[in-house]
Structure 1
Amino acid sequence: MSDSQPLRRQWNLIRLLSRQQLGVSLKELSEQLGVSQKTVRRDLTTLQDVGFLLEECVEEHGRKRWQILMNEKIAPLGFTLEEVAALYLGRRFLEPLAGTIFWEASQKAFQKIRTGLGDEALRYLEKMAVALHCTSIGHSDYSQQAETIDLLMIGIEDRKATKILYRSAKAAETTDYEVHPYGLVSHRQALYLIAFAPEHEQIRHYKVNRIRRVEVQTQRYSSPQKFDLQHYLEHAFGIFLDGGPIRRARVKFLPPVVQYVREHRWHSTQQFYSQEDGSLVVDFNLASFEELKSWVQSFGPDAIVLEPEDLREEVLEELNRLIQLYLEHASVK
């Protein structure tokens, strides 16, 4: 038997006990886990040995029930042991935000969990996470931008005009901008500042990685009433908007990728239409097609833009340019 099997079983044991505040009998645990009572008792002893506070209580008529007792440092939070363990094991998903105020605050919370559980219990939890890995391909590193993000948050929370030294992706040099910062958005493991740019009289997006300096000014700005980041980005296919109207985009996916497409929620407006030939047509209502175009192209020959026509033409033009580049490269000796 592999090490992961008893660990999985013991995790399920913690879940069962966490959800039954009045306790669970050995027989009930055995039945729900599908193993013998002897195995359950051995697992309970193992969890006790590594520091989990499990107790066998004797009720009237000699009936025995197992319960989880929460550490006094964690109990006031109102979390079950299952919830505390899940939060701790999920901390790696916050690693792309290392260096930010969010990371610093989360680390303080995890330190409280570590203190409450103890070293032995934590080491045992880590063994449960051996099958969980979070890739970091293309993620942004904010470890050197903690002050930048702190200052941006001050500007956002205090509604103060803010000067940023910024270098856009296409610019050769940095430029000073005064902005009214509305909020930060995390998109594909990168942070973006959403801010009103008085110079351009429009809302613009600034990738935090490209901000070189931040100066929060003394004067406050008046933000639009009820401005909501989620509502603002409702018809973006990610983070980019170009001020265009909301239009329908229709994409056809061929059978090799249909299951993959169906497994995900790509956008709040998506509508799936199964076709008789096994393909799938998906509709989106979007105000910008730039990110949708890149996404469709990532499926190679298994995705076809059906409409609008101008998006079809853009994709076809880029494909033709790509073919030409490959042909030119092949001819170079």
Structure 2
Amino acid sequence: MNDTLMRHWRMLREVPRYPRRISTAELKQRLAAAGFETTLRTIQRDLIKLSGVLPLLADDSKPQGWSWEAHAPQLDLPMLEPQAALVFHLAERYLQPMLPASTLEYLLPWFRTASGVLDSQGNGLSAWRKKIRVLAPGQPMQPPVIDSEVQAVVTQALLLNKRVAVTYRARGAKEDKDYEASPLGLVVRDQVIYLVCTLREYQDIKQLVLGRMRSAKLLDTQARGLEGFDLDQYIAQGEFGIPLESGRKIKLIANFDRSVATGFIERPLDINQVVDEINEKTVKLTATVLDTREIRRWLLDFGELAVVIAPQSLRNEMMEIINRMNKNYGL
């Protein structure tokens, strides 16, 4: 195959989508690493020529940076198959109520391509778009607004293992503060994106909400890693479950009306949970769970259809909450 065509393909794959950018010097390095030796002048000439027929953008920075247009269609070789297009459409439906709009924007080119492929089909696949809906659990809420450039910088910092300078306003604060963060991971929970990180030279782990970041700047400084840190272990400790005592587990025993038991029977709270029949109207749930505020909210959601039996401390706490609610309602 023609070497120039191969080089062009490789080069186009290295160009990111706006607002990210790549300089011609960096392109030259990446092409060389892939086995394509060329000059800066040739790369610049090729990009200018390709921008005449493709949605490529050049900025006025020095050195000059190149990007695909933000809403450019996704360039796929070979063309997206109808079955793959259907999967992308299902993913769009599923992710829409779960992820912030700024995250979904990065996937829009694939979603648009998938919609176009489905619309062109005459075998009934296009009808699926009108027949599938995905509903979010609980009360529908609007996702937080995240600055797309902030998210792009934070993501890039995580990928490159670099520090990032952020301007951040904590919950309840009246003023912004500047932080230098070393990213450890990103966690998406209930449409909120959290940057798990350390600040400056400290070792304690923090969670910064991307929606509260006013600005972000990628730094050349290497991120400060934590020896032995594992994101899955960090989450398993209950750090995103608002634990009352980090990592503490309790043996929950509660009676439930049989009419609401299907949910935790089909989706167990614990792999070792046990559901026993008490009588024709009541079942008893026994499960080991993290001692979190979420488990209390989950139990309260059932109202009078759930009664905590053990541990006694949790039973007493639930009784206090119910008594306070009665007072608030004048009962």
Q: TM-score range by the shorter chain?
A: 0.5 to 0.7
Asked whether the 8 Å contact 2:180–2:200 carries over to 1, the reply is yes
SS at match of 2:315: helix
User: Is 1:281 matched up with 2:285?
Assistant: yes
Report what 2:114 is aligned to.
113
User: Is 1:125 matched up with 2:129?
Assistant: no
Match of 1:311 among 309, 314, 317: 314
Runs of 4+ in 1 over 6 A off after TM superposition: none
Q: Deviations over 1:292-332 (max 9, x none)?
A: 111211111222333334333333322222211111xx8xx
Letter in 1 for 2:167: L
1:266-277 equivalence runs, <5 A: 266=269, 269=271, 271-277=273-279
Provide the C-alpha distance between the structure 2 equivalents of 1:239 and 1:150, rounded to a whole number of angstroms.
Answer: 27
Provide the C-alpha distance between the structure 2 equivalents of 1:202 and 1:165, rounded to a whole number of angstroms.
Answer: 19
Q: Deviations over 1:93-142 (max 9, x none)?
A: 23243543x53442232344355x36432895342233322346114144
SS at match of 2:125: helix
Report what 1:162 is aligned to.
164
1:1-333 equivalence runs, <5 A: 76=78, 81-96=82-97, 97=99, 99-100=101-102, 102-114=103-115, 117=117, 119-121=119-121, 124-135=124-135, 137-142=140-145, 144-197=146-199, 201-225=203-227, 227-236=229-238, 238-241=240-243, 244-254=246-256, 255-266=258-269, 269=271, 271-277=273-279, 278-286=282-290, 288-327=291-330
Letter in 2 for 1:88: H
Asked whether the 8 Å contact 2:88–2:110 carries over to 1, the reply is no
Q: Deviations over 1:210-264 (max 9, x none)?
A: 2222233332233224533222212428543466243224041412311122122
Asked whether the 8 Å contact 1:197–1:204 carries over to 2, the reply is yes
Asked whether the 8 Å contact 1:249–1:308 carries over to 2, the reply is yes
Report what 1:65 is aligned to.
none
Letter in 2 for 1:147: E
Letter in 2 for 1:86: V
**Residue 208 (structure 1) shift:** 2.3
Give the RMSD, CA atoms, in angstroms.
3.3
Report what 1:3 is aligned to.
none
SS at match of 2:246: coil
Aligned residues: 250
SS at match of 1:121: coil
Provide the C-alpha distance between the structure 1 equivalents of 2:243 and 2:217, rounded to a whole number of angstroms.
Answer: 26
Provide the C-alpha distance between the structure 2 equivalents of 1:195 and 1:232, rounded to a whole number of angstroms.
Answer: 12
Percent identity between the two aligned chains: 21
Alpha-carbon spacing, 1:280–1:132, altered in 2? closer, same or farther (3 Å): farther
SS at match of 2:159: helix
Alpha-carbon spacing, 1:206–1:222, altered in 2? closer, same or farther (3 Å): closer
Provide the C-alpha distance between the structure 2 equivalents of 1:244 and 1:201, rounded to a whole number of angstroms.
Answer: 17
Alpha-carbon spacing, 1:252–1:202, altered in 2? closer, same or farther (3 Å): same
Provide the C-alpha distance between the structure 2 equivalents of 1:127 and 1:118, rounded to a whole number of angstroms.
Answer: 8
Alpha-carbon spacing, 1:234–1:118, altered in 2? closer, same or farther (3 Å): closer
Alpha-carbon spacing, 1:179–1:308, altered in 2? closer, same or farther (3 Å): farther
Alpha-carbon spacing, 1:210–1:271, altered in 2? closer, same or farther (3 Å): same
Asked whether the 8 Å contact 1:270–1:283 carries over to 2, the reply is yes
Q: TM-score, normalised by structure 2?
A: 0.63
Structure 1 residue runs without a partner (length 5+): 1-72
Provide the C-alpha distance between the structure 2 equivalents of 1:190 and 1:140, rounded to a whole number of angstroms.
Answer: 7
Q: TM-score, normalised by structure 1?
A: 0.63
